[in-house]
Structure 1
Amino acid sequence: MFNHEANILIVDDEAPIRQLLRLYLNKEGFYVDEAEDGVSGLKMALHKTYRFIVLDNMLPGISGLDICKKIRAVQETPILFLSASDSEYDKLDCFEAGADDYVTKPFSPREIVHRIHGILSRTSKEAYQKRRNLPTAPIILNDLVIDPDARSVSLNKVKLNLTMKEYDLLFVLSSNHGTPFSLEELYKKVWKGNSFGDFRTVVTHIKRLREKLNQTQAYSGKRIQTIWGVGYIFNDGS
Structure 2
Amino acid sequence: MRQHVFVVEDDPNIRDIVKAYLQKEGFQVSLVDNAEEAWEKTKLDQPDMWILDIMLPGMDGYELCKKIRQVSEVPIIIISAKDEEVDKILGLELGSDDYLTKPFSPRELVARIKRLFKRAEQMNIAAAKKEQGQELVVGDLKIDEGGRVVYWHGEEIDVTSKEFEMLEIFTKNPNRAFSREELLDLVWGNDYFGSDRAVDDLIKRLRKKLDGLEVETVWGYGYRLRHEVEGSE
TM-score range, shorter chain: 0.7 to 0.9
For structure 2, the 5+ residue unaligned runs are: none
**Does 2:98 align with 1:101?**
yes
Q: Which residue of 2 aligns with 1:225?
A: 216
For structure 1, the 5+ residue unaligned runs are: none
Matches of 1:204 and 1:64 in 2, distance apart? 20
Q: Give, as a single letter, the amino acid of the residue that structure 2 aligns with 1:224.
A: V
1:12 Cα offset (Å)? 1.1
3-state SS in 2 of match to 1:226: strand
Of 200, 204, 222, the residue aligned with 1:203 is: 200
Listed as ranges, the matches of 1:56-205 within 5 Å are 56-85=53-82, 91=88, 94-124=91-121, 127-134=123-130, 137-194=134-191, 196-205=193-202
Percent identity at matched positions?
37
Q: Deviations over 1:101-126 (max 9, x none)?
A: 333444443332222112211223x7
3-state SS in 2 of match to 1:82: strand
Aligned length: 228
1:168 Cα offset (Å)? 0.7
Matches of 2:196 and 2:105 in 1, distance apart? 18
1:203 Cα offset (Å)? 2.2
Q: Deviations over 1:72-131 (max 9, x none)?
A: 44444322222344566655654454433333444443332222112211223x751332
Matches of 2:106 and 2:217 in 1, distance apart? 35
Q: Give, as a single letter, the amino acid of the residue that structure 2 aligns with 1:41.
A: A
Q: Give, as a single letter, the amino acid of the residue that structure 2 aligns with 1:131.
A: A
> Relative to 1, partners in 2 of residues 1:166 and 1:62: Cα closer, same or farther, differing over 3 Å?
same
Matches of 2:46 and 2:180 in 1, distance apart? 35
1:204 Cα offset (Å)? 1.8
What RMSD over aligned residues (CA atoms) do the two structures have, in Å? 2.7
Q: Please say if residues 45 and 71 of structure 1, whose CA atoms lie closer than 8 Å, have aligned partners that are also in contact.
A: no
Q: Please say if residues 13 and 35 of structure 1, whose CA atoms lie closer than 8 Å, have aligned partners that are also in contact.
A: yes
Matches of 1:209 and 1:92 in 2, distance apart? 16
Q: Give, as a single letter, the amino acid of the residue that structure 2 aligns with 1:202.
A: V
- The two structures have a TM-score, normalised by structure 2, of 0.82
3-state SS in 1 of match to 2:113: helix
